[in-house]
Amino acid sequence: MSNRNKRGWQVISRTYCYVYVRAIMAIVLAGSVIPAMSEDLQGNRAELIRSLLPAVVNISVRKDVAAARGAEVATASDRGAIKAYVGSGFIIDPSGLLVTNYHVVEDAFEISVTLSDGTELPGTMLHASRQADLAIVQIKTDHALKPVQWGDSNKLQVGDQVFAIGDPLGIGTSVSAGIVSGLHRDVQDSPYDNYIQTDAAINHGNSGGPLFDMEGHVVGVNTALVSPTDSSAGLGLAIPADSVRFVVERLIEYGWVNPGWMGVKVQQVTREMAAAMGSQQPEGSVVSWVLPDSPAQKAGIAIGDIIIRYADYAPPDERALLRRIAHTPVGDTVQVALLHDGIQRMLPVTIESWPRSQWDKRDAPMTPERPKLTIPPDLGLTLSAVPTSERAQLGLEDGLSGVLIISVLGGSDAAERGMLDGDVILRVQDRPITTPTDVQEAITAVRSDHRPFVMMLVLPKARKTPGPTWVTLRLPPGH
């Protein structure tokens, strides 16, 4: 090898060495940058989550379990027929409007909302939709609250990262993360099912809480879990935000959902149906019933017609078609594409408002009866829990709690001592009470001590002087 060649080799060697060293340095630097980027992302995510916590609330309710239909998680302190349940919700308006699941507050005669700072406030259910399993609850504060920001659930894709915030199992506000595991899930809960499936942990108590995307926007309301046990198996379901917003905005504006109505019953065309009709592939939704004097009948839609397009939309199934009809503004005329015996035609259908009386039968919230208890007949008192909406009217402010007297038996010792319906019992002996069962148990304890009288601290309906009064009732023996 010549000296020139040797010099050339040396140069090439230095060049490769230089490139090699740079590559090594790049790898080393990348190794230090990647963890730093990861830490930044985790820090940003933690900061995002912390910023969202004030918009999420914990909801506890009291229900008469003999009549309750929508139960979440019972707390360990439950006694008798009146039980406490927990759920979640989130603020949608600074004035104190909250969204939660209807089944969280269904049949509740008392609603209590706990904010992220620990403040506990009474809540009142303003409006609700049983079909959509959504409710709007009002709380009143002396300051504006932080609302959530809505996201676009239509843009969600399987694999997108999401996280849930709520009060699982009543242990307090918790965060769980996961991905969108599936879309458009049908659990046959309603004709409009369109759930988001997620593996973010959803447990009892999460119901009504928000499902967030990674930008901190609400893309769903956590509603249900599918599991062979009572806890999360990695299969949670959330109502998509676009459906939630539609229902909530309608409830606020009209007091009910006021959905668009065409007046047809439809079924998804199956392969068997398609074969029976001489078609190669199943397509559209077949009409199985047309209501008299409905928009569909007026437009000429008939039983056996197959709806394949609604305006410029080709519904993938009958649930999607029904949702699109419900979301159509009342009064709009929509072009509907139909197939019958292989012949396609277009019909204009003018959407009407769903007849209110018919809709209310399937959707209006049920009014819970106040749980009542007639304590031993020798006392002559019929009691109920105090409805949240009547607390201020009855003078139960500043944290006071008690039990409402519904009726007083004429001629009873209670009547003789001036007790009236509308009075509120605050204590029995030295025991604060909140349910009729509490009163019963306190009286039983006094009887077991063989005492002839029981003391009750009563807040009278008609007060000559401010504040409550002690009333002593005779306890006849033998009861």
Summarize pLDDT for 436-459 with one digit per residue, the tens.
888 988 998 898 888 899 999 998
Q: Which CATH superfamily groups domain 372-474?
A: PDZ domain (2.30.42.10)
Q: Which residue has the higher pLDDT, 230 or 26?
A: 230
Among candidate residues 103, 107, 112, 167, the one labeled active-site is: 103
> What is the band of 34 on the pLDDT scale with cuts at 50, 70, 90?
low
Contact partners, residue 50, CB within 8 Å, separation at least 6: none
- At residue 312, φ and ψ (nearest 5 deg) are -100, 20
Token pair listed for 315: 């519904």
Identify the band that residue 392 occupies on the pLDDT scale cut at 50, 70 and 90: confident
Report residue 37 as tokens.
């980027």
Confidence of residue 478 (pLDDT cuts 50, 70, 90): low
Q: What is the pLDDT of residues 406-423, one digit of tens each?
A: 888 888 889 888 899 889
Average pLDDT, the chain: 85
| Residue 103 annotated among the catalytic residues of the structure | yes
pLDDT band with cut points at 50, 70 and 90 for residue 396: confident
372-474 matches 53-259+356-363 in CATH topology? no
Q: Is the pLDDT confidence value at 166 over 80?
A: yes
- Give the integer Cα–Cα distance in Å for 424 and 431: 14
The CA angle 425-429-434, to the nearest 5 degrees, is 40
The per-residue pLDDT for range 329-359, each reduced to its tens digit, is 999 999 999 999 889 999 999 999 999 999 9
Rounded to an integer, the average pLDDT of 254-281 is 93
260-353 falls under which CATH superfamily? PDZ domain (2.30.42.10)
pLDDT score of 21: 38
Instruction: Find the catalytic residue in 133, 213, 242, 317.
Output: 133
Lowest mean pLDDT, pick from 129-133, 144-148, 408-412: 408-412
Residue 450: active-site member: no
Per annotation, catalytic residue among 207, 232, 285, 294:
207
Range list of H helices, 395-454? 413-416, 436-448
Mean pLDDT to the nearest integer, 240-246 = 97
CATH architecture of 53-259+356-363: Beta Barrel (2.40)
SS3 475: coil
Q: Are 442 and 431 in contact (CB under 8 A)?
A: yes
Which distant-in-sequence residues (6+ apart) come within 8 Å of 271 by Cβ?
A: 282
Least confident of 294-298, 318-322, 363-367: 363-367
Told to judge if 327 belongs to the known catalytic residues of this protein, a careful annotator would answer: no
For the chain, domain boundaries: 53-259+356-363, 260-353, 372-474
